[in-house]
Chains A and B, each alone.
Chain A
């Protein structure tokens, strides 16, 4: 079945890089996502990676995908206080546009001054 796992908490110093890790189980996943949720708000798509890619960079965000180990990571460079949020990893198994989207439990990122 599908399962997505993440660590629950991460604390980093302002200005450092944050690395949030995720593992997933379904090898047929075609899209893998990172979403951000600020307190009291909905989910905002940060970035996604297609399964035929190893890396994707978008300004301060770098996504790395290791398909062999089913491991996904999100690196945030120069972490700022505005990056404090919960970050969700999600996978979309299969190739059909009707596929489910399965979420991890989220990683709460806190920033130390």
Chain B
């Protein structure tokens, strides 16, 4: 049981380049989340998806797009990367009903924009 898998683990981009961060979960969870983590600022929610086909903005959505391809996968796209998007990105998923109690996190993607 892999849980939440993120790819890639590390990435360096030049300013203006685009890329997609991939996230997949195998726990049949409805809800999925993308966060960014910056020193001293904790985790800030970028976008989340309550179910397949729905997405909502979080605290810091500007500069990002997301796609909930199916129940398993939730991708985060940077169309034109900026140095301010240098961060560690975490994907998470959470179940429904009695499984709401726990959100599972991936290991993170460390992104550097130069």
* Residues of chain A having any CB pair with chain B under 8 Å: 4, 8, 30-31, 33, 35, 41-45, 48, 50, 88, 90, 92, 96-106
Contacts and interface: CB of A to CB of B under 8 A. Distances in A.
B53 interface: no
Contact of A101 (B41, B54, B92, B108): B92
B43 to A, nearest CB: 4
A98 B31 contact: yes
B101 A100 contact: no
B74 interface: no
Interface of B: 30-31, 33, 35, 40-45, 48, 50-51, 54, 58-59, 90, 92, 94-97, 100-108
- Identify the interface centre among B42, B45, B96: most chain A CB within 10 Å of its CB: B42
A7 to B, nearest CB: 12
A45 B45 contact: no
B101 to A, nearest CB: 5
A97 B43 CA distance: 20
Nearest to A43: B105
A96 B50 contact: yes
Contacts of B43: 43, 88, 90, 103
Contacts of A42: 90, 105-108
A99 B96 CA distance: 10
Contacts of A45: 102-104
23 contacts: A31-B100, A42-B90, A42-B105, A42-B108, A43-B92, A43-B105, A45-B102, A45-B103, A48-B102, A92-B100, A97-B31, A97-B94, A98-B31, A98-B51, A100-B48, A101-B45, A101-B92, A101-B94, A102-B45, A103-B42, A103-B43, A103-B45, A105-B40
A101 B102 contact: no
A88 B45 CA distance: 14
Contacts of B45: 100-103
Given A43-B105, A88-B43, A106-B42, A97 B100 contact: yes
B95 to A, nearest CB: 7
Given A97-B30, A106-B42, A43 B101 contact: no
